[in-house]
Amino acid sequence: MTETLTKPDLDTVAEVAAQLRVDSVRSSTSAGSGHPTSSMSAADVLAVLISRHLRYDWDNPDDARNDHLVFSKGHASPLVYSVFRAVGVVSEDELLNGYRRFGERLEGHPTPVLPWVDVATGSLGQGLPDGVGIALAGKYLDKLPYRVWVLCGDSELAEGSIWEALDKASHYKLSNLVAIIDVNRLGQRGETDLGWDTAAYARRAEAFGARVIRIDGHNLTAIDEALSEAEDDSDERPTVIIAKTVKGKGFSEVEDSPDWHGKPFPEDMAERAIKELGGTRDVRVRGPLPEGEASDGGARGQAGKVDLPQYEVGEKVATRKAYGQALAALGAANPAVVALDAEVSNSTYANEFAQEIPDRFFEMYIAEQQLVAAATGINVRGYTAFASTFAAFLTRAHDFIRMGAVSRADLRLVGSHAGIEIGADGPSQMALEDLAMMRSVHGSTVLYPSDATSTAALVERMAETRGISYLRTTRGAYPVLYGPDEDFSVGGSKTLREGSDVTLVGAGVTLHACLDAAEQLGKDGINARVIDCYSIKPIDEAALRSAADATGGKFVVVEDHHPEGGLGSAVVESLLSGGRTSLEVEHLAVRGMPGSGTGAELMAWAKIDADAIAEAARRLADRA
Amino acid sequence: MTETLTKPDLDTVAEVAAQLRVDSVRSSTSAGSGHPTSSMSAADVLAVLISRHLRYDWDNPDDARNDHLVFSKGHASPLVYSVFRAVGVVSEDELLNGYRRFGERLEGHPTPVLPWVDVATGSLGQGLPDGVGIALAGKYLDKLPYRVWVLCGDSELAEGSIWEALDKASHYKLSNLVAIIDVNRLGQRGETDLGWDTAAYARRAEAFGARVIRIDGHNLTAIDEALSEAEDDSDERPTVIIAKTVKGKGFSEVEDSPDWHGKPFPEDMAERAIKELGGTRDVRVRGPLPEGEASDGGARGQAGKVDLPQYEVGEKVATRKAYGQALAALGAANPAVVALDAEVSNSTYANEFAQEIPDRFFEMYIAEQQLVAAATGINVRGYTAFASTFAAFLTRAHDFIRMGAVSRADLRLVGSHAGIEIGADGPSQMALEDLAMMRSVHGSTVLYPSDATSTAALVERMAETRGISYLRTTRGAYPVLYGPDEDFSVGGSKTLREGSDVTLVGAGVTLHACLDAAEQLGKDGINARVIDCYSIKPIDEAALRSAADATGGKFVVVEDHHPEGGLGSAVVESLLSGGRTSLEVEHLAVRGMPGSGTGAELMAWAKIDADAIAEAARRLADRA
């Protein structure tokens, strides 16, 4: 049995560093893929960090006092897993036989299937923004002294999201955040934009408000001093350590070579590498434990009963406003609820929350990637974060939302100003792709209520929903349809009108148009069924199937969205999922490129208004 | 008739500035919406620019020598259109009766429906990245001395994309690019992140490699000197002019007030504003004309016949490799073809082009937003730009792709490493949402070939395709299916096997699985039809309908993508678009969260391999 050393001296740390390199070589060669050279450049920094600075109880990864370690350069996964072996939580057997293999947890890029991984990385430029979220939680919510250590690659500093992250880190004075940049000069296909110009990186990080420390990333003493300096958080700035390193460091055949990115060494090379690195080792080290009493949570406390806002049937209320009011009510009842917005809170109505509960509201300014990443990081600490902006601008964060699913994060996203209904502002502000985007995210929930009552109820449901959930809200005010006692559930729907000739399916603004169309059709003797399909994913398959039976498979599906991937797709895919089905579907959606106008003018132009729905229903009813 | 003054003195420019303010007030009040105060802060800068510096022939907006003027702060559209009135291309009547009205061209945010607008803006942080693309075209492709002037808001400097843009602008020494930041301190809902801290903006822009000039944005002499200095491009850096301004400048009731963002003045306030600004005016000004001979193009020359690569049926070639080879062939034949990549050209195989034609290849490093924006800007000058990265990482640029459609840009996007087929790298690198994303873009074309021959042919088709087109390529090498004389068209398909029992629809890697499944099924006496659905949007409705007739509406649709919004959606939406249809569909897609493994292991796990397809087909065939 191997002894575990706690806070060893630098000679031992050098042994740890060599072991991390050897294990990075062994694991990637065993798997036949992976990034050994990108791991070797950062091995010295990680050896010092895990041995002498990271305060982490490896046996209790859920301890709230633990520091957080995020590998923003997720492709250095051989290093991640070699670290986990060095601290004694992953075995040599798993490292050599599990890495990148089917059904195993040591995936090609780290994900939270491992208890020591907070967020999935591998799409570059995301780990640091996520780390900002964790640090926000530490400083403002948990109010615990843990640190967030993020290892970044140099290539990923070309991603704008890194600068959004540093901007917010300095704005929020996140002295508990330490970014370590592994400047090994080489990206996937040659030299990076800035190469070894660590002075240029330093100027940029300083200009964005960070305390910058430049070091030789292979000098253990310098690393140790830099990490100690980073632990002094008296000056209220995030720290950026710029470590000049050599890719493939420790194996002379590949050091600083542009030809060895993302390639495991063949067996014979691996043997030579291990030999040059002094052979395999079996060192166990751990850094200091967190101070104070063990804890499983921050300052969250108990949730009380939610006193949702109530609305009178018939009064006109915008669903975006109901969102804000419900969120404020939720926040008042539940100290775990947090809200974020991207400088449009007076449009999304997240300001209703911000005004009531300013200490749990985070202004992310116009930086939608960081908005979603901050929510992801805050969720790491168990908070229930809602993030809002215009629905159109959530497309800016698509990669972060996708990765949020890989991170197994519970994200509640809210997009206002959906569709052409917004009118005069024109197409740049109109979300016409958001339902397709959000439906395609793994395990997502997509909600699109039509009135204030259902919006408020669904906001409460979202707080309980795991995975990525999305609420689409409308700019304009429309009549409240439901009384306060009506129930709404994820996967539900409401059949607002029974009918036998044709089914009209709407959601959001188009539901109101469906109801108007049904009135028109009634006068013509056409009996239209109307479904409020407020839950687009999961969708109420049973209700749709009943409707198909009742109306001979005749449907008009109407959406304020492009024709692809939205409500229409959800309805027909659901109806076809249960075996042979005979359908006659009129799918009304926004097929042209809109300009400006009033919402009503544009809905008439796109043929998604009541007249167009009635006309489509008549076409269906007239056929046999 | 009003005299047009060319390069007037600063006293006249002051009159122009007052007119721009008055017209911004009048247009927004007449429309009942818009952003007068955000227009008024930048009126002095624009007055000097259009009167004395912008080299532009307003009567010939297509003249290749013209400077370019991009309003990255697109919400300042009252100012944009007031400028167009001041230079005499938009009438007072249109300004007062057309702005933000249905069917009119003065949309809420500027779009290229106007001949003097290069790119649509309104999603913040995009105009400057687009401007980088135009400047790249000017310096490296057209080799013409035009300048690109971009007006940015201060709020949008929180977008990471702005820093991606400045990074590339300095990397490529774009001294022909001038960004003017209108630092009016106030965003939509209060003070911006940095307020009036122009020194902080200056440090950041300088650190990112720009020459920075700080001025009082209401001092006409200072503005004039700064613009003159920006015209001296001897030091090979982009110029950033940081103009400290006052929101609502010129109307004391709203100056520097946080309560007047995005709100038109009521009639009585508008009257007071116009009075304070000295009343309406009818000044006409233009800056200098471009120098030299008129020209309608740069250095493009004539396209020759494309000598596409040829492949032998049965040889194994990755479609990503065929993409690179075809692109190089296209580039050799056509001097308008340009390629860009986000530091993964050795994976996407864009390096085949880069090696052959380095002077028309732009490395964008790991900055996917700037990748797409650069292609958009380069397209402004009429070049045929292809932009490639991993398909998963194109989600990073979703908002730019969406806005590309509003810009009426022709963008050719290529995403490699689609789906779980990639194997060991794991979910962060697997594109499983890209088809849904690209299908939902207005007017898009989505192609997903299965073999090298069809890939090469479709790359040539893409070069001729308008709007946003997307090619999805596969990591692994699969057998070539088609001989070199086979034709492939946008909207086409290939029926590779006739059959009467069931239709198998695949694309990309799943087509090979369909072919294998059909072999298996044949041994069981089940006669499967196989369709290569290489054009997913538009889709070959006629071929699908024939298949429905031939196989009794029985379909197995298989895709290496999440179930929502991809091939399955496209097939069923197409089949249901023509009236009553009876279908029995087995939709095989990636429904779980993948880990690592081999491509074959993962395809078996997801049940999208040949065995799963055959099993699904048997279920369909066994039923009546």
Share of chain B above pLDDT 90, in %: 95
Identify whether the C-beta of residue A547 lies closer than 8 Å to the C-beta of residue A575: no
Cα separation, A139 vs A613, whole angstroms: 53
The per-residue pLDDT for A95 is 98
* Torsion angle of C-alpha atoms B553, B559, B562, B567, degrees rounded to 10: -60
For residue B21, CA distances in Å to A322, B35, B274 come to 37, 11, 8
Identify whether the C-beta of residue B471 lies closer than 8 Å to the C-beta of residue B447: yes
**B-chain residue closest to A570, CA distance:** B564
Chain centre to alpha carbon of residue B8: 37
The per-residue pLDDT for A277 is 98
- Summarised one tens digit per residue, pLDDT across range B7-62 is 899 999 999 999 999 999 999 999 999 999 999 999 999 999 999 999 999 999 99
Q: How many CA atoms lie less than 13 Å away from B431 in the CB half-sphere?
A: 25
With both helix axes pointing from N to C terminus, report the angle between B160-171 and B368-380 in degrees, rounded to the nearest 10. Answer: 60
Q: What is the mean pLDDT of residues B127-153?
A: 98
Q: Which chain A positions have a beta carbon within 8 Å of B351's beta carbon?
A: 189
| Helix or strand (DSSP H, E) at B549 | helix B541-550
Q: Which amino acid is at A271?
A: E
- DSSP letters, A412-443, are EEEEESBSGGG-TT-GGG-BSSHHHHHHTSTT
Residue B293 has pLDDT above 80, yes or no: no
The per-residue pLDDT for B295 is 67
Q: What sign does the dihedral A290-A296-A302-A303 (CA atoms) show? A: positive
Query: Is B113 close to A595, i.e. CB distance below 8 A?
Result: yes
Choose the weakest-confidence range: A68-82, A505-519, B295-309, B430-444: B295-309
Active-site residue B3, yes or no? no
CB atoms within 10 A of CB B102: 16
Identify whether the C-beta of residue B120 lies closer than 8 Å to the C-beta of residue B109: yes
Burial of A365 (0-12, 13-18, 19+ CB in 10 A): buried
Cα separation, A349 vs A345, whole angstroms: 5
Cα separation, B134 vs B169, whole angstroms: 11
Report the mean per-residue pLDDT for chain B: 97
Residue B1 has pLDDT above 70, yes or no: no
Q: What is the mean pLDDT of residues B435-456?
A: 98
The per-residue pLDDT for A292 is 81
DSSP H helical ranges for A32-126: 36-40, 43-48, 77-86, 92-98
- Summarised one tens digit per residue, pLDDT across range A107-146 is 999 999 999 999 999 999 999 999 999 999 999 999 999 9
Identify whether the C-beta of residue B439 lies closer than 8 Å to the C-beta of residue B495: no
The per-residue pLDDT for A4 is 87
For residue B34, CA distances in Å to A424, B80, B190, B245, B337 come to 8, 12, 18, 19, 39
- Summarised one tens digit per residue, pLDDT across range A457-480 is 999 999 999 999 999 999 999 999
- Summarised one tens digit per residue, pLDDT across range A551-608 is 999 999 999 999 999 999 999 999 999 899 999 999 999 999 999 999 999 999 999 9
* CATH number listed for the domain at residues A494-622: 3.40.50.920
Q: Which chain B positions have a beta carbon within 8 Å of A100's beta carbon?
A: 424-426, 596-597
- Summarised one tens digit per residue, pLDDT across range A385-397 is 999 999 999 999 9
Phi, psi for residue B11 in degrees, rounded to 5: -65, -40
* Pairing label, strands B535-537, B445-447: antiparallel
Q: What is the mean pLDDT of residues A86-102?
A: 98
Q: What is the mean pLDDT of residues B402-418?
A: 98
Identify whether the C-beta of residue A182 lies closer than 8 Å to the C-beta of residue A240: no
The superfamily CATH assigns to domain A4-286 is Thiamin diphosphate (ThDP)-binding fold, Pyr/PP domains (3.40.50.970)
Cα separation, A385 vs A337, whole angstroms: 6
Q: Which of A164, A425, A432, A581 to mutate to test the interface with B (most CBs of B within 10 A)?
A: A425
Cα separation, A334 vs A306, whole angstroms: 8
The minimal CB distance from A569 to the residues B158, B161, B569 is found for B569
Q: Give me the total of CB pairs closer than 8 Å, taking one residue from chain A and one from chain B.
A: 357
The per-residue pLDDT for B624 is 57
Could you identify the residue written with the tokens 């740069």? B298
Q: How confident is the model at residue B413 (pLDDT cuts 50, 70, 90)?
A: very high
Choose the weakest-confidence range: A578-582, B11-15, B197-201, B506-510: A578-582
Share of chain A above pLDDT 90, in %: 95
Phi, psi for residue A100 in degrees, rounded to 5: 65, 15
Share of chain A above pLDDT 70, in %: 99
Six token digits for residue A491: 């996967």
The per-residue pLDDT for A299 is 53
- Summarised one tens digit per residue, pLDDT across range B568-589 is 999 999 999 989 999 999 999 9
B3: which DSSP letter? P
Burial of A598 (0-12, 13-18, 19+ CB in 10 A): middle
Six token digits for residue B303: 């396209």
Cα separation, B238 vs B455, whole angstroms: 39
Q: Which amino acid is at B486?
A: E
Q: By C-alpha distance, which of B63, B45, B68, B15 is closest to B225? A: B45
Q: What is the mean pLDDT of residues A80-102?
A: 98
CB atoms within 10 A of CB A11: 8
With both helix axes pointing from N to C terminus, report the angle between A77-86 and A10-31 in degrees, rounded to the nearest 10. Answer: 130
Cα separation, A100 vs A94, whole angstroms: 11
- Summarised one tens digit per residue, pLDDT across range A209-238 is 999 999 999 999 999 999 999 999 888 999
Query: Is A158 close to B366, i.e. CB distance below 8 A?
Result: yes
The superfamily CATH assigns to domain B304-479 is Thiamin diphosphate (ThDP)-binding fold, Pyr/PP domains (3.40.50.970)
Identify whether the C-beta of residue A419 lies closer than 8 Å to the C-beta of residue A430: yes
Please state the domain extents for chain B.
4-286, 304-479, 494-622
The minimal CB distance from B189 to the residues A203, A344, A579 is found for A344
Q: Which chain B positions have a beta carbon within 8 Å of A605's beta carbon?
A: 102
Q: By C-alpha distance, which of A493, A399, A193 is closest to B434? A: A399
∠ CA B420-B376-B116, rounded to 5°: 155
Q: What share of chain A is helix, strand, coil (3-state, %, to 5)?
A: 40, 15, 40
Residue A1 has pLDDT above 70, yes or no: no
Cα separation, B621 vs B604, whole angstroms: 21
Greatest Cα-to-Cα distance within chain A, rounded to the nearest angstrom: 89
Q: What is the mean pLDDT of residues B461-472?
A: 98
The per-residue pLDDT for A297 is 60
- Summarised one tens digit per residue, pLDDT across range B354-375 is 999 999 999 999 999 999 999 9
B355: which DSSP letter? H
Radius of gyration of chain B (CA): 27
Q: In sequence order, what are the residues at sequence separation of 6 or more whose Cβ sits closer than 8 angstroms to the Cβ of residue B219?
A: B44
Q: Which chain A positions have a beta carbon within 8 Å of B102's beta carbon?
A: 595-598, 601-602, 605
**What's the length of chain A?**
624
The per-residue pLDDT for B296 is 59
Q: What is the mean pLDDT of residues A275-300?
A: 86
**Chain B nearest C-alpha distance from A182 (Å):** 16
**B-chain residue closest to A31, CA distance:** B424
Q: Please confirm whether the linkage preceding B129 is cis (ω < 30° from 0).
A: no
Identify whether the C-beta of residue B36 lies closer than 8 Å to the C-beta of residue B24: yes
Identify whether the C-beta of residue B299 lies closer than 8 Å to the C-beta of residue B143: yes
Residue B622 has pLDDT above 90, yes or no: no
**Chain B nearest C-alpha distance from A567 (Å):** 10
Cα separation, B540 vs B427, whole angstroms: 31
The per-residue pLDDT for B196 is 97
- pTM exceeds 0.95, yes or no: yes
Q: Which of B70, B166, B422, B433 to mutate to test the interface with A (most CBs of A within 10 A)?
A: B433
Q: Which chain A positions have a beta carbon within 8 Å of B433's beta carbon?
A: 398, 402, 437, 440-441
Residue A298 has pLDDT above 80, yes or no: no
**Is B4-286's fold the same as B304-479's?**
yes
Phi, psi for residue B286 in degrees, rounded to 5: -145, 150
Q: Please confirm whether the linkage preceding A538 is cis (ω < 30° from 0).
A: yes
Q: Which of A157, A340, A402 to mutate to test the interface with B (most CBs of B within 10 A)?
A: A402
Q: What is the mean pLDDT of residues A286-313?
A: 84
Phi, psi for residue A250 in degrees, rounded to 5: 110, -15
